[in-house]
Amino acid sequence: MKILRGCHFGKRKPILHSLDEVASGLREALNPQNSLCLGMALLFSQAMTVEIGILGATGFTGAELVGLLLRHSQARMAWLSSESQPGTSYAKVYPQFLGCLPADVDTLRSFEEVKDSTPDVVFSCLPHGASAKCAAAFLSNGKTKVIDLSADFRLQDLDVFAKAYGHAHPIPERVPQARYGLAEIHAEEISQARLIANPGCYPTSALLPLFPLVRDRVVSPDGIIIDSKSGVSGAGKKPSETTHYVYANESVAAYGIGDQHRHRWEIMEQLSLAAGRKVDLLFTPHLIPMERGILSTIYCDLLPGADAAAAEACLQKQYAGSDFVRIRSDLPRTADVKHSNLCHMRVYQPQGSRKLIIVSVIDNMVKGASGQALQNMNLAFGLPPKLGLA
């Protein structure tokens, strides 16, 4: 794959060879000031093929990602890894993929077998703690980008990380390199990054409405309360007494109440960035007996001069032309976004009140995990955002 830097006609420029350079050239060409290059940029982006490895492919997020990548016309999976089942056929773990993968990709490999490979990008679907150490091996090769679906690189404050996760960061020197992968908010930073920290599912549902509202001084960053409800797939593949069918069915349970859940720290760090000062809030998640989906109901105070119309206008401006975020006039349901990379939201101001209530819904497995990870890959390589997600 080759592309002329900037596509400047009549001038000979150095030829670029790496996908990193191709992506950089595409971003330059897609700049509105370079409108003459748009056609060529799109032509080159359509010819690009991204080589991919997936760490921890046998978990729920890994399987969701494999399914999405099979629909991506410019992605090629080079390998899938599993520490628990190396040598096993992926189709044996997930029969829905029988006949969908080449034999060499279908056979799961251990980290030791793939750690010296140099794909264009590695998605890490490993558990917290293990992910950072494995990601470091690929970051060291100078080529591979890493999109980490664990929480290992989401927090920039190492003291907060230690408090939230109960241990010091395993690879602290890599943390400043990470960019928070909330795609609609940090697209420019993501497009330049080699290490992308994919956001948590709950933070995605809360931050997509809250970040622009706090940043644009529509709502106060103080006194925010987030009440979220998630399907059981958010707890991961390994069952427990909390997520076992017998315990979860016909029951709703709160957990990590108020200031206890680790995702609270993630939301607060991002909203502190939006507000330009430290933000504190309350966040309580609930387990709902359904397979997938998150519904977050958010309560916040409108700032003087702002009302629900101003809040809606702010969100409409932020997400005008967005491929995945929709502002609604009715109340969204999790079923409306199931199996999609969409986020639907509505704002409401009770009569005679200065409170703003926001309802936001996503699919926790797609927009809250693997779909957003793929969206981040598209951004990182200058590909159309909806590729593999439409």
Concatenating the DSSP letter of every residue in 114-161 gives: HTT---SEEEE-PPTTHHHHHHHHHHTTSS-EEEE-SSTTT-S-HHHH
- Tell me the average confidence (pLDDT) per consecutive run of 10 residues in the chain, 390 residues long: 33 42 53 50 66 96 97 97 94 96 96 97 94 95 96 96 93 96 98 97 98 98 97 71 74 91 96 98 95 97 98 98 97 98 98 97 97 98 95
User: What is the value of pTM for the model shown?
Assistant: 0.88
pLDDT at site 10: 34
pLDDT at site 47: 65
Check if the beta carbon of residue 66 is closer than 8 Å to that of residue 97. yes
pLDDT at site 54: 98
Tally the C-alpha atoms within 13 A of residue 114's C-alpha that lie toward its C-beta: 31
Return the closest-CA partner of residue 293 out of 344, 257, 355. Answer: 344
Q: What does the domain layout of the chain look like in residue ranges? A: 3-47, 50-199+370-380, 202-364
**Exposed/middle/buried for residue 140 (C-beta within 10 Å: 0-12, 13-18, 19+):** exposed
Q: Which residues, 6+ apart, have CB-to-CB distance to 285 below 8 Å?
A: 202, 228, 229, 230, 254, 255, 256, 261, 263
7, 37, 134, 201: the catalytic one is: 201
Q: Does domain 202-364 have CATH number 3.40.50.300?
A: no
Q: Which residues pair with 81 in a beta bridge?
A: 109
Number of other residues whose CB lies within 10 A of the CB of residue 103: 7
Q: Which residues pair with 76 in a beta bridge?
A: 51
Backbone φ and ψ for 258, nearest 5 degrees, come out as 70, -80
Give the 3-state secondary structure of residue 364. Answer: coil
Q: Distance between terminal CA atoms of the chain? A: 25
75-80 and 195-197 beta bridge pairing: unpaired
Respond yes or no: is residue 201 known to be catalytic: yes
> To which residue do tokens 């929480």 refer?
151
Homologous superfamily of 50-199+370-380 in CATH? NAD(P)-binding Rossmann-like Domain (3.40.50.720)
Q: How far apart (Å, rounded) are the C-alpha atoms in residues 240 and 263?
A: 20
Return the closest-CA partner of residue 154 out of 141, 135, 220, 49. Answer: 135
